Amino acid sequence: MNAAIVVNANQNLASITSAGTTSFNGGTSTVGSFGGTGALVVASGVTVSATNALNHGSINSAGIVNVNGGASNVVGTIDGTGVLNVNAGSLSSTHYRHGTMAIASGATATIADSMNPGNTSATGYLNSLSLMPTAPSTS
């Protein structure tokens, strides 16, 4: 059995690597880098921001998850009813099944390619999607 990490209040952490479940149950936390094959669980009313890397087995969020950087952030599956903000960098997942997602100008979010045509697990749905436009050129 893999160990669990539980965060119940505001934290500022350099990194978390876990093969078990990492649960954020309270407060607003910033983590430089997430790694591992475990699940990242974010409770309602909680905000978690990843500043350098978000590479994790899965995300299930009823709160807010901010991806604030990282050239290649990879998550197995993303589920939940919360808010997912890709503010910078890129995010790739095998599926997005989430409440609200916002992708800032210059950031990307992709659904990982399915190796088998017709594979319905490589899909996504969102209750709300917001794309921030690029400012017009002044030159």
Q: What is the pTM of this model?
A: 0.85
Task: Let me know if residue 117 belongs to a domain.
Answer: no
Number of domains in the chain: 1
Bridge partner list, 42 = 24, 61
Return the exposure string of 26-51: e unless at least 16 CB atoms fall within 10 Å of the residue's CB, then b: eebbbbbbbebebbbbbbeebbbbbb
Q: What is the mean pLDDT of the chain?
A: 86
Question: What residue numbers bound the domain in which 92 lies?
Answer: 8-112+122-131
Please check whether residue 45 lies inside any domain of the structure. yes
Mean pLDDT, residues 40-62 taken together:
96
> 133 vs 76, which has greater pLDDT?
76
Per-residue pLDDT tens for 89-139? Answer: 999 888 888 899 999 988 988 887 655 556 565 566 666 667 666 544 444
